[in-house]
Structure 1
């Protein structure tokens, strides 16, 4: 579970970086084009690209934590709390958007619900995977 969550996060990171080739289209697809256009105008023309790279790096780090927890990568610091933190963030993001329709994205409802379900799925991979990993170790 943790391995799959880790690889999915690394995939998300790669998609963020590769998506910069078609940045405007990507921003439109995920429903943040309006916000990114304002950021470009109000903050700095490169700000949307910078934020996208930062988010890609964060996804990559979260992926490394998933792989580290599955012993596919060296043990990272604060591994146990980070796995549960990552799982909780994903789960709350997904459930929050599904239940409360926060509306921070302007994508189609189908896409927003799909993103939310993916977030719930990845969150459960980390939460359940973490519980399985550390429950098994504690009982031995």
Structure 2
């Protein structure tokens, strides 16, 4: 479970890097083009830097999943990191599910975030429950 969550995060990070080449179209698809246009008025690089920061977060989340899945070297604060990542994903996913239901659209990203959150949460429970026994 943790390996799958890690690989999904690495995939999301790579997708963000690829999206940099069509950043305005991607922002339009996700409905954040107006906000990013405002930010680019401050400095043209802000949308690119923000996307790179988000990419870095997904990449680090992926490394923690792979590390907990014994595919990558052991990272610091691994147990805390895995459950923190699970909590972030579950909070984001479940809140988007409710928001989508209230506004009448299909919660694709909410479902994906909730799924990844469950992968980290149940993967973490399985990993550290097994170690205790």
Q: Which runs of 5+ in 1 are unaligned?
A: none
Q: Which of 107, 113, 130 matches 2:124?
A: 130
Describe how 1:97-112 pairs up with structure 2 within 5 A.
97-101=96-100, 109-110=105-106
Alpha-carbon distance in structure 1 between the residues aligned to 2:28 and 2:83: 31
Residues 50-108 of structure 1 show CA distances to partners (whole Å, capped at 9, x for unaligned) of 0001100110000000000000000000000000000110011010111245x9xxxx9
Describe how 1:1-140 pairs up with structure 2 within 5 A.
1-41=1-41, 43-101=42-100, 109-110=105-106, 113-139=107-133
Q: Which runs of 5+ in 2 are unaligned?
A: none
Alpha-carbon distance in structure 2 between the residues aligned to 1:44 and 1:98: 33
Alpha-carbon distance in structure 2 between the residues aligned to 1:138 and 1:51: 40
Q: Secondary structure at the match of 1:77?
A: coil
C-alpha deviation, 1:122, in angstroms: 0.3
Alpha-carbon distance in structure 2 between the residues aligned to 1:109 and 1:51: 26
Calculate the TM-score normalised by the size of structure 1. 0.90
Alpha-carbon distance in structure 1 between the residues aligned to 2:97 and 2:77: 30
Residues 31-53 of structure 1 show CA distances to partners (whole Å, capped at 9, x for unaligned) of 21111111111x31110000001
Instruction: List structure 1 runs of 4+ shifted beyond 3 angstroms.
Output: none
What is the root-mean-square deviation in Å for CA atoms of aligned residues? 1.4
Alpha-carbon distance in structure 2 between the residues aligned to 1:31 and 1:81: 33
